Amino acid sequence: RLKALNRLQVILQHLKMSKQTESAAEVLLEKKGGAGIITLNRPKALNALNLPMIQRIYPQIKAWEQDPETFLIIIKGTGGKAFCAGGDIRAITEAGKVGDKLTQDFFRGEYRLNNAIGTCKKPYVALIDGITMGGGVGVSVHGHFRVATEKTVFAMPETAIGLFPDVGGGYFLPRLSGKIGYYLALTGCRLKGRDVLRVGIATHFVESEKLPALEKDLIALKSPSKEKIADLLNSYHVKCTIDQEKEFVLDEHMDKINSLFSANSMEEIVKKLKQDGSPFALKQLEVKSSMS
């Protein structure tokens, strides 16, 4: 019996170590020069955040914030398709089915991380190259600088699964120009490329292939202030002409959006959409109906 117990303890220890190694591989934390670099490393899952990743990132940000030798923090994703597609909804859903407290722990940890990013005293640069949705928005939009590319796809799709636009969406979305934030929140509309900059989610727009060079230049900055970082980002931004002449995808609908999404309740918005009756309004009603 003692041998069996010892064997079980060894197995449990191996499982624990395996889990720790796996979470370590899923998010890479490294220091290069004066820069702390966070790399989301779950490319097969589009770098979706899970609880172990969150639990590793949060204390590291706090440590770098207090470290006098760390001057900025950079966050990026691997795989070429996504920065971060959101939270690991599959794991959260499965946990909820069996009454596991993972869901509670996940959201508490995620929101605490969002707050840490939003209050971080060190300059925080998010390279949002590729899919950036939900939780991915949460670990980028609250930082000082968000660099979008022609591959960026932004959305807050939570209403499609019966949730609200979380990760601070109730704060940053209403602060976008006009009523575009309300529209994005209620419809889950996807924005791509330069349009992510145009609405104010991104602060800069750079070609995807230039990001490695940008990262290298950021790391090379000596004791960088926010102003120096902004100047460097601006120098890359002004050279990028991709989609510069292309109109904002929602430009022709902005008057409708500002009018129809100006009500103070969902019921009033639905009423306005029905009364308007335009093809655009009817399409939004259809979208909302599929989410109800």
Angle (CA) 77-78-82 rounded to 5° is 65
**Alpha helices for 48-177 (secondary structure H):** 51-66, 89-97, 102-119, 135-138, 169-172
The answer to whether 236 touches 214, Cβ cutoff 8 Å, is: yes
Residue 196 φ then ψ, to 5°: -65, -35
CATH of domain 24-243: 3.90.226.10
Sheet hosting strand 191-192, strand order edge to edge: 82-84, 131-133, 153-155, 191-192
* Nearest residue to 113 via CA among 136, 133, 91: 136
Q: Which pLDDT score, from 0 to 100, does residue 12 have?
A: 47
* Catalytic residue ranges: 87, 135, 158, 166
Cα dihedral: 56, 60, 61, 63 (round 10): 150
Sheet hosting strand 72-77, strand order edge to edge: 27-32, 35-40, 72-77, 124-128, 145-148, 204-205
Residue 244 identity (one-letter amino acid): Q
Residue 71 φ then ψ, to 5°: -105, -20
Please state the domain extents for the chain.
24-243, 250-292
Per residue of the chain (292 residues), give pLDDT as tens. Answer: 555 545 655 554 554 444 455 566 999 999 999 999 999 999 999 999 999 999 999 999 999 999 999 999 999 999 999 999 999 888 888 887 777 888 899 999 999 999 999 999 999 999 999 999 999 999 999 999 999 999 999 999 998 888 889 999 999 999 999 999 999 999 999 999 999 999 999 999 999 999 999 999 999 998 889 999 999 999 999 999 999 999 999 999 999 999 999 999 999 999 999 999 999 999 999 998 888 6
Q: Which two tokens stand for residue 71?
A: 């001057």
Residue 183: C-alpha distances to residues 59, 100, 131 (Å): 35, 34, 19
Q: Which two tokens stand for residue 151?
A: 């591959």
- pTM as predicted: 0.90
3-state secondary structure 1-52: CHHHHHHHHHHHHHHHHHHHHHHHHHEEEEEECCEEEEEECCHHHCCCECHH
Q: How many CB atoms lie within 10 A of CB 19?
A: 11
